[in-house]
Amino acid sequence: MDLHFKIEDWVKERKSHVFHRQLVIVSGPKAWAEKQVENLLINFESLSSKHLWVGDAPSNQQAVNSLDYRQHLGREYNTLIYNCYSGLSANALMAYSGTIKANGLMVLICPELKSWSQYSDPLSKKRYSYGFSQYLEPSRFITRLISIIAHDKNTIVITPNSFRGHNSTIAPEQFNRRLDSATSEQDKVVSSIIKSASGHTNRPLVITADRGRGKSSALGMAARALMLEQEKKIIITAPTKHNVEQVFTFATPLKQDSLINNGSIEFVAPDALVTGSYHADLLFIDEAAAIPSSILKVLLDKYPRVILSSTIHGYEGAGRGFELRFKPYLETAHKGWKDLTLTTPIRWYTDDCLEHLWFSVFIMQDSTSNSLTQAQGKVIGQNETPVNKITSSKRLSEYKCQEVSKEQLVDSPQLLSKIFSLLINAHYQTSPDDLFRLLDAPEQRIYVCTCDSDVIGVALICSEGGSALSDLTQEIILGHRRVNGHLVAQNLALHTADKEFVNYEQWRIVRIAVSQEYRRTNIASTLLQFIESSAVEHGIWLITSSFGATSKLLKFWGHNDYIPLKLGFKRDASSDEVSLIVGKSLSLTTSTLLNKLSLQFREELIYHASRYHISMNTSLLTHLLTYCQPQDISTRTRYRVEQFIASNSPYMPFSQLLAKYVLTKLSRVEHANTIPKEAEFLVAALIQFKTTQDLVTEFKLSGKKELNTHIRNAISTI
């Protein structure tokens, strides 16, 4: 049958019934493909009434940039056209797919399938580190995507010479429920929110859901009921006001509702809530995973009744961070908190073809509903307590460490799924774009630790510096250029004005993840040692890592002989922690280089402790100070410290001397477990130089007099 008539029959059938959302691939020369899609829009009048064109478009079509997807989250379209000739973003694909309404289509315009993997993607330079993109091979990610599409019976494929596919029918029982009508899960959520408005205080309610499950509408319906029936004043906050448009839509009174008297709902930005004075009977925090946990903690302390909602699959991976980092905090600090999950879609039908396809492409189906107890991993050895032997039933000899090539990942979908699922469940920032880089980025390496056929540990490595940056050394040192990738190499070169940090080819450990079952068994350390041996074989003499600093992570890296090299000043928006660069030398030359930087680190840490680092976790700062170069205590210093201990003098006149004494004592600590328990208090008082009131409050003292006594006793026992 002629191609035109096949398409016509497909269009005619789709016009006459309601079908699942589906993916349509229009593959062929760019001009032809764009014209073909224009014709589809003309034939699908109902779909063309509200459509979005992403990337290059014909002159009569309005288009948006593929990387502007955040601006369209929360909006809905009948048809979305994504022009892959303009560049492919995995995060954008996943995000835009959630904007398509029931019975809608997602259309991808792409090169001929047989040559697509060799297409020079305009966005490739954004995905890979500078100096590596010119070595790109055919895209393995695209090869895998084409393979999945070829085996997916619900994807329509149109080429200049062929048509393949069919409209995907919806199960008859699905029609019994009208879309966008409240589900029993939503009713439960609305009821729980209403109860929270008058129930026990300080028991947060957490609502999580994937896209399209009616999370925002449930918040809106509950808000409307609370305003009408109880005249509650509600504040809602989110990363942007645009995030809560749907909430306000459902919170607006219906025609049959009586007028709201004193009830209200108001949007206030998170930072304004922290610093300002706002009254609310109930606080809604939407898209909580995208808000730093330090702000969330302040708001939970400030407002007694809080509802937090979050999307499970954040497009930059933030949703997993909320699961891994913030829910455990709630368990500790807010006993009695409640967790509800919405699973039934309301904006499209159950077993939706489009969602299933993209979850399969980005290996999210295995992590969608896994609870923390089922699938939680850990980040770079987080919570790993160094032990001398494997505590499970397996012996160390039964664990195998090896490098996995990108070809192996393509040839073994099961292996790829195990590796990426572990990264998703173990790290708060693993996103769809990371899968793209994992398969294609030439500067990345993957190392795994296996037990039998199970992948129990994964390490992601990135090559930095060396010949890739040789033509930019001086510009980087002077701060005139900052290229994509090479995170640590550029950072340290600029920080030290030392070209060696650019010239040396080095490996940065991006992530290490270990499965829940094998935590506390030294798997991360074993994998790290294997990577170091492999690095030496490849002529690599420097290994680094950069991460959000915590005491547990610092303990892990210190246990493996990595030293702190540079501490950031600002908290990262995703991890809500200050970034820390650590490194380990694998040669005498780089050892000299790191020793010089270590001395600079010590001087800067002490200088900034009472300035930029005054709000840092004191336990972390205390631990970092143990990395300072060991110092001798002079007879004069020892005499004056003894004088202070024996006197009744306030500590302030002695504070400089006492600070020096404490720093000297900490510099002699050889292991984190031997840090004196009094050290943290002394660091807060004498190094961070916190105010008297802050010290009294933080350490639960009665006042200034007890503070002096506490310092005197701590100095005498440290």
Sheet holding 399-404, edge to edge: 399-404, 444-451, 454-464, 506-514, 542-548, 578-585, 563-571
Strands 77-83 and 506-514: unpaired
Question: pLDDT tens-digit profile of 543-600?
Answer: 999 998 999 999 999 999 999 999 998 877 656 689 999 999 999 989 999 999 999 9
**Cα 485 from Cα 87, distance rounded (Å):** 19
- Stated as kind and residue range, the H or E segment containing 222 is helix 215-230
Contact 308, 288 (CB under 8 A): yes
Structural domains in the chain? Answer: 3-173 (3.40.50.11040), 180-346 (3.40.50.300), 372-608 (3.40.630.30), 635-717 (no CATH)
Which of helix, strand or coil describes residue 285?
strand
How do beta strands 77-83 and 22-27 pair?
A: unpaired
- Look at 88-97, 322-331, 621-630, 682-691 and tell me which has the smallest mean pLDDT: 322-331
pLDDT above 90: residue 354: yes
**Taking a C-beta distance cutoff of 8 angstroms, is the pair 152, 106 a contact?**
no
Q: Which residues participate in the annotated binding site for acetyl-CoA? A: 512-514
Known binding positions? 186, 347, 512-514
Mean of pLDDT values over 30-34: 96
Question: Does the pLDDT value for residue 47 go beyond 70?
Answer: no
Cα–Cα distance measured from residue 516 to residue 518, given in angstroms and rounded to the nearest whole number: 6
* Arithmetic mean of pLDDT, 472-501: 95
Cα distance from N-terminal residue to C-terminal residue, the chain: 88
pLDDT in tens, 252-299: 876 555 555 678 999 999 999 999 999 999 999 998 888 888 899 999
Give dist(CA 272, CA 236) in Å, integer: 12
Question: For a pLDDT cut of 70, what percent of the chain falls above it?
Answer: 91
* Whole-structure pTM value: 0.85
**Residues composing the chain:** 718
Write the DSSP string, 134-184.
Answer: GG--S-HHHHHHHHHHHH-TT-EEEETTEEE--PPPPPGGGGGS-TTSPPH
Contact by Cβ (8 Å): 494, 476: yes
Task: Give the tens place of pLDDT for each residue, 410-423.
Answer: 999 999 999 998 88
Check if the beta carbon of residue 105 is closer than 8 Å to that of residue 48. no
Pairing of strands 264-267, 306-311: unpaired
**Given a cut of 50, is residue 383 above it in pLDDT?**
no
- Residue by residue, DSSP assigns 582-593 as EEEESSHHHHHH
Long-range contacts of residues 271-276, Cβ cutoff 8 Å, at least 24 apart: 271/295, 273/235, 273/237, 273/299, 273/302, 274/298, 274/299, 274/302
Mean pLDDT of the chain: 88
Q: Return d(Cα 406, Cα 717) in angstroms, integer.
A: 56
CB–CB of 141/439 below 8 Å?
yes
Show binding-site residues for ATP.
Answer: 186, 347
Contact 338, 206 (CB under 8 A): yes
pLDDT grade, residue 397 (50/70/90)?
low
Look at residue 77 and tell me whether its pLDDT is greater than 80. Answer: yes
